[in-house]
Structure 1
Amino acid sequence: MTLIHENVNRGRSQTGWLDSFHTFSFGGFRDPARMGIGALRVINEDRIIPGSGFAEHGHEDMDILTLVLSGKLRHRDTIGNETVIAPGKAQLMSAGTGIRHSEMNASDTEPAHFLQIWLIPETYGGAPTYQQAALSPEEEARDWSLLASGRDGEAPLRLLSDSRVLIAFPQAGMTTRLPIGEGRKTFVHIVEGLATIGGERISSGDGLQVGESRLPDIDWITDGKALLFDMK
């Protein structure tokens, strides 16, 4: 069985500077059917107006993965990191015993559009860490490419749970197979594009909560981008 988390049923938070869609329950949005899956707790799709952003705030005991889709983010944190993240890059903070950071739009003229993803670590505590990595070039990652993993040395970014995050950049007309592991939990987030799975149409912002060992493939109508979360 595949449960489609339709984009139109996501939560939404809007302020003067932020427009945020929530795949899972977050902030004032609560849905018993959308409480996360496995280690995956948050997928927020955020848009920030020029010259604004998330002022310094704190986190503990959470892996926080950020992917910029357009525009640029300026990251600062209390363990000495200051950098600008643009499309084609990903950052991962493991908050550990505590870290404070800010994520501000690095432009005074262009909006910033990005995903922020939270995964729950298997052990709490430890020193906070920061990592940054380049995504695989799109032409080399039409099928799934490993971005983050809980296994040492397996992926550019190191998670603190038995999880893997993969990314794909399929082209129109391509078919993407879902690599389902026995006894694993799988969630797919459609970042961009239009496709079908099992005769159902899916599009940007939709999620696929996978509950079978064998599934229909994703057939792409347009060029697309997707994330796959493989978890214990």
Structure 2
Amino acid sequence: MTLIHESMSRGHTNTGWLNSYHTFSFGGFQDPTRMGFAALRVINEDRIAPGSGFSEHGHQDMDILTMVLSGKLLHKDTLGNVVTIAPGEAQLMYAGTGVRHSEMNASASDAAHFLQIWLIPDQRGGAPRYQQVRLPDIEASRKWTLIAAGAGSGAPLELTSDTRLLMAHPREGDRLSIPRQTGRQVFLHIVEGLAMLDGERLAGGDGIQMGSDELPNLEWITDGKALLFDMRR
């Protein structure tokens, strides 16, 4: 069975400085049918106003991945990192036994737009750690490109779960197959653009939770961007 999480059905938080959409239950949006999928617990699409952001707060036992789409974020944490994250960059923070951090808009005039993704680790505990990378550019990632995976995978970012995260920047008219393996679960998130999947029109913010059935190719109506989570069942 394939389940489409439509963009318009996402949870929504708007505090003035923060405008956030939640694919899965988060904060004040609680839906018992949307508590995550396999290791994937959170996909939030956030926009924060100039000069604002998330002040220092703590996490434990979670891989927290932030991908900046536009604007810039200023990250500070109790590991001693003070860094700026720009469009096309991603940070991965494993919270482990505990870490505190802040994510602030680095601009006093421009909004920051980014995705924050939480993945549940295979084992709790361990020392917190921080990684930051420049992601492959559009032409280098028109097809599925591995950007994060477990230890020993050679991926740019190292996750603490048996998860593979792939990214693609298809062009208008491209057809993307969806890789499947026995014993794995797949979640597709459309970041931007328009595509067709088995007669269904997909747009930015839509998520597709995939069952065991075979799926046709994604046919892109416009240029786009998508993330594919390949996770242990």
Residue 136 of structure 2 is aligned to residue 136 of structure 1: yes
Partner of 2:62 in structure 1? 62
Residue 186 of structure 2 is aligned to residue 186 of structure 1: yes
Deviations 1:47-94 (A, max 9, x none): 000000000000000000000000000000000001000111110000
Partner of 1:29 in structure 2? 29
Deviates more, 1:206-215 or 1:106-115: 206-215
Partner of 1:203 in structure 2? 203
Report if aligned partners of 1:181, 1:213 keep a CA contact under 8 Å in 2. Answer: no
Please show how residues 212-231 of structure 1 align to structure 2 within 5 Å: 212-231=212-231
Extract unaligned runs of 5+ from structure 1.
none
Report if aligned partners of 1:182, 1:213 keep a CA contact under 8 Å in 2. Answer: no
Residue 75 of structure 2 is aligned to residue 75 of structure 1: yes
Tell me how far 1:212 sits from its aligned partner: 2.2
Partner of 1:92 in structure 2? 92
Tell me how far 1:153 sits from its aligned partner: 4.2
Matched residues in 2 for 1:14 and 1:8: separation? 15
Deviations 1:170-218 (A, max 9, x none): 0000001100111101000000000110001000000010102521111
Extract unaligned runs of 5+ from structure 2.
none
SS in 2 for 1:136: coil
Report if aligned partners of 1:68, 1:89 keep a CA contact under 8 Å in 2. Answer: yes
Report if aligned partners of 1:43, 1:117 keep a CA contact under 8 Å in 2. Answer: yes
Deviates more, 1:115-124 or 1:26-35: 26-35
Task: Among all aligned residue pairs of Structure 1 and Structure 2, give the percentage whose two residues are the same amino acid.
Answer: 65
SS in 2 for 1:8: helix
SS in 1 for 2:155: coil
Partner of 1:150 in structure 2? 150
Matched residues in 2 for 1:184 and 1:151: separation? 18
Matched residues in 1 for 2:127 and 2:50: separation? 33
Deviations 1:108-129 (A, max 9, x none): 0000000000000011111100
Partner of 1:124 in structure 2? 124
CA RMSD after TM alignment: 0.8
Partner of 2:168 in structure 1? 168
Partner of 2:177 in structure 1? 177
TM-score (norm 2): 0.98
Deviates more, 1:29-38 or 1:19-28: 29-38
Letter in 1 for 2:169: F
Partner of 1:114 in structure 2? 114
Please show how residues 2-21 of structure 1 align to structure 2 within 5 Å: 2-21=2-21
Partner of 2:38 in structure 1? 38
